[in-house]
Structure 1
Amino acid sequence: MTDHDDHVQHTWRLAHPDGEEITIDLWTDNDTVRVDGGDHEDAEGGQAMVDRLLATYTAAGWRRVRDYAVNDAVAHAEPVQDDAPEPHGRPEKCPDCGAPVVYEPRYGSDVGEGAAWLCTGCKWGQWLTA
């Protein structure tokens, strides 16, 4: 992480029984998520991404040690518009491992950017449907 936290809105600290620790920071832009430690890279997606990371790590045996507010979020001049509603056809579970799937309206990867259903287990961050 960095020596200053002017850009951080909220921080979550997680610990694993083997002694490893992870820090997840949501930045004041309400979009950027930084992960220090663990298996996931920094991402965009705001609180929804943080919630998915917390659920994934909790399911893998991590426990939340502490979470705390650091700074207020940046106020937007215009109200943020909600994304389009989730399209029909959500898979009930991942076809590969059977884990639950989540909808991400603005998912981005090396392949492209757009709406996707993502597996919370084996294929975290991968397109399930095109």
Structure 2
Amino acid sequence: MSDNDQHVQHTWQLTRDGAEDVTIELWADGETVRVDGGEEEATEGGRSMVERLLAKYTAAGYRIERDYPVNDPAPHDEPVEDDEAEPDGGPDKCPECGSPVEYDPRFGDDYREGAAWLCTGCKWGQWVTV
């Protein structure tokens, strides 16, 4: 492994008594996996390959000593500012077809994203104004 970690997304360090430590790196491209101290050196396959390698080494008696993000991309499941309870003033039913409407705090289309009321029938949408 190198001292420059700008290319690394996530690192797992595995250890086993009486054996060389193993380090697995998932690179920032999301596909390249580098193994130091194990049988493999570099492979493709991303997180699914990492999961297979972790299962392989834990079955061989290794344990994960440390697991940490290095340059992980920002998670996309964080709450959005407008991810609150449904605001007052929403329509009772769809003005187009009369079906019930539901509130979606994270609705998005080709042009914008945010809270909206959506028809459960025809998918008519009305954006929430702040």
**CA distance in 2 between partners of 1:72 and 1:40 (Å):** 23
Structure 2 residue 58 is the aligned partner of structure 1 residue 58: yes
Q: In 2, are the aligned partners of 1:12 and 1:66 still within 8 Å (CA)? A: yes
Give the TM-score normalised by the residue count of structure 2: 0.54
Displacement of 1:73 in angstroms is: 3.9
Aligned residue pair count: 74
What's the CA shift string for 1:8-29, capped at 9, x where partnerless?
A: 0000000011142010000010
The structure whose Rg is larger is 2
Counterpart in the other structure of 2:97: none
Counterpart in the other structure of 1:38: 38
**CA distance in 2 between partners of 1:59 and 1:68 (Å):** 21
In structure 2, stretches of 5+ residues that fail to align are 75-130
Q: What's the % identity of the aligned pairs?
A: 61
- Which residues of 2 match residues 1-130 of structure 1 at below 5 A? 1-73=1-73
Q: In 2, are the aligned partners of 1:30 and 1:73 still within 8 Å (CA)? A: no
**CA distance in 1 between partners of 2:32 and 2:73 (Å):** 12
Deviating runs (4+, > 6 A) in structure 1? none
What's the CA shift string for 1:16-53, capped at 9, x where partnerless?
A: 11142010000010000000001123100000000000
Query: Relative to 1, partners in 2 of residues 1:73 and 1:32: Cα closer, same or farther, differing over 3 Å?
Result: farther
What's the CA shift string for 1:56-108, capped at 9, x where partnerless?
A: 0000011110000000349xxxxxxxxxxxxxxxxxxxxxxxxxxxxxxxxxx
Give the TM-score normalised by the residue count of structure 1: 0.54
Counterpart in the other structure of 1:120: none
**CA distance in 1 between partners of 2:73 and 2:23 (Å):** 19
In structure 1, stretches of 5+ residues that fail to align are 75-130
**CA distance in 1 between partners of 2:19 and 2:39 (Å):** 15
